[in-house]
Amino acid sequence: MNLDDTIVAIATPPGRGGIGVVRLAGPEARAIAQPMLRLKHDLEPGRAVFGELVEPGNDHQPGAATRIDEIVVIYFAKPHSYTTDDIVEISAHGSPVVLRHIVELALARGARLAEPGEFTMRAFLNGRIDLTQAEAVRDLIESQTLYQAKVAAQQLEGALSRRLQPIKTKLVELIARLEAGIDFAEDDVSVLPADQILQQITAVRAPLQELAASFAYGKIVHEGLTLAIVGRPNVGKSSLFNRLVERDRAIVTATPGTTRDLVSETVAIGGIPVKLVDTAGIRRALDEAESIGIRKSMEAFADADLVLVVLDSSQAITGEDQELVDQVAQRPAIVVENKSDVKSSQFSAVSSQLPRVQTSAITGEGIPGLRDEILRHVGGHSGAQSETGFLTNLRHQGLVRDSLTALEAVTAAVPNRVPHEMLLLDLYNALRPLDEITGATTNEDILNLIFSTFCVGK
């Protein structure tokens, strides 16, 4: 992949639309675009110019350009662009034929077709964005809810990098102190005592552990949550499902065992994508079809991140209800006492420490409280929503864990009076994974810190 090439690609999704955009990036972007454009004004950086897309004339008729479409062109001069290259973006009507033709004209004049993700890769390689921001571009494009988009936008602005930077700075300062104590002992640079080394390691570990803990919530924000609704037949599972989906998605009848197959729908609860799964009523099956449905229910119940166990509060609790609640007692679950609008005096709460919510799928009573309880389970009301720069990416989580493992090794080694040269190996092992998230710390960075912090070689 040659960064000196001028590349071109359609920047809008495939298909027909009101507007389609073709992007050129590279040193020849303006020169390649100019012959295919007839503009009202000259191209100026950051200014939208109205004009026409034309078919350039041939050798026999050099001035006979044929009009193809009306367009708007924006020119971004280097380095003030997404990739830091010269960029020309041509907005035409969203006909696939027209957009492809613009690309073909650019290719004929020396441009190269961009590889997948190459514009963002150039932005990263040219120092315009770091790795976390590059990954946030993909997350923003793939967002299913507004909250996911906001989180991705925060990452794109560098929220995670900003949170990691003070941690890395403290770690690099510790490395620099130890390196200076070893390499410049003759210049009266003192060797750092063990207690101070441990204090500085703690100052690095504590915020890093908090960051690692944020992944439990961040993973759910990024990937969503699967929620299975289970219970005996006719307790109102499908009605509750429809209430949460806010439309009649599942069939509801008074006949027990109506739901034979899994019915799923994804909704946003508190900005988090939640895949709701309505299951067949769990009981002794009356026929083969119901038996298959119940088996699928148990599979969905096992795979779910969170389980809603629905009880019918218009009746007395049965042994099957208690057995089902006992099955989910050791995993994330909520007991939903449904049909609260016709609650029976014979109904009594099941024996369980699980949180309970009273609802009526018919009237909607308790549904907001149920949504709040679901959010509480995933950390949506624990302050995590107001926090920026949390981990949403499995790769980042693994790297943070690797860094913590190396720091734990240093912490264990210091009391045993391990030489500082050996401690540095683990400290560099702690720094390296963080560099893989935000970008590398070079030897030059550490040397600059040594010479700027200590009076070396007076």
Tens-digit pLDDT profile for residues 72-116: 999 999 999 999 999 999 999 999 999 999 999 999 999 999 988
pLDDT at residue 177 above 90? no
| Integer Cα distance of 111 and 101 in angstroms | 13
Beta bridge partners of 311: 337
pLDDT at residue 125 above 60? yes
As given in the structure block, the two tokens for residue 201 are: 């390691």
Describe the crossing of helices 118-125 and 131-141 by its angle, rounded to 10 degrees.
160
Report the b/e string of 81-91 with b at 16+ CB within 10 A.
bbbbbbbbbbb
Q: What is the pLDDT of residue 94?
A: 92
296 exposure class (CB count in 10 Å sphere: 0-12, 13-18, 19+): middle
How does residue 389 score in pLDDT terms, banded at 50, 70 and 90?
confident
Beta bridge partners of 357: 336
Q: What is the pLDDT of residue 190?
A: 58
Q: What is the pLDDT of residue 455?
A: 39
Top-confidence range, 240-254, 281-295, 330-344, 379-393: 330-344
| Integer Cα distance of 132 and 155 in angstroms | 7
Q: What is the pLDDT of residue 169?
A: 92
Q: What is the pLDDT of residue 330?
A: 84
Q: Compute the average pLDDT of residues 136-163.
A: 88
Per-residue CA distances from 240 to 76, 235, 320, 326 (Å): 52, 9, 20, 22
170 exposure class (CB count in 10 Å sphere: 0-12, 13-18, 19+): middle
What percent of the chain lies above the pLDDT cut of 70?
Answer: 84
153 exposure class (CB count in 10 Å sphere: 0-12, 13-18, 19+): middle
Query: Strand 112-113 relative to strand 263-269: parallel, antiparallel, unpaired?
Result: unpaired
| Integer Cα distance of 352 and 329 in angstroms | 7
Show contacts of 152-158: CB within 8 Å, 24+ apart: 154/388, 154/389, 155/389, 155/392, 156/129, 157/133, 158/130, 158/132, 158/133
Q: What is the pLDDT of residue 281?
A: 66
Per-residue CA distances from 19 to 10, 70, 107, 330 (Å): 11, 11, 21, 53
pTM exceeds 0.75 for this model: no
Domains of the chain and any CATH numbers: 7-128 (3.30.1360.120), 159-214+390-453 (1.20.120.430), 221-378 (3.40.50.300)
Q: What is the pLDDT of residue 250?
A: 53
Q: What is the pLDDT of residue 137?
A: 87
How does residue 454 score in pLDDT terms, banded at 50, 70 and 90?
very low
Strand order in the sheet with 306-312: 263-269, 272-278, 225-231, 306-312, 333-338, 356-358
Q: What is the pLDDT of residue 33?
A: 94
What percent of the chain lies above the pLDDT cut of 90?
Answer: 38
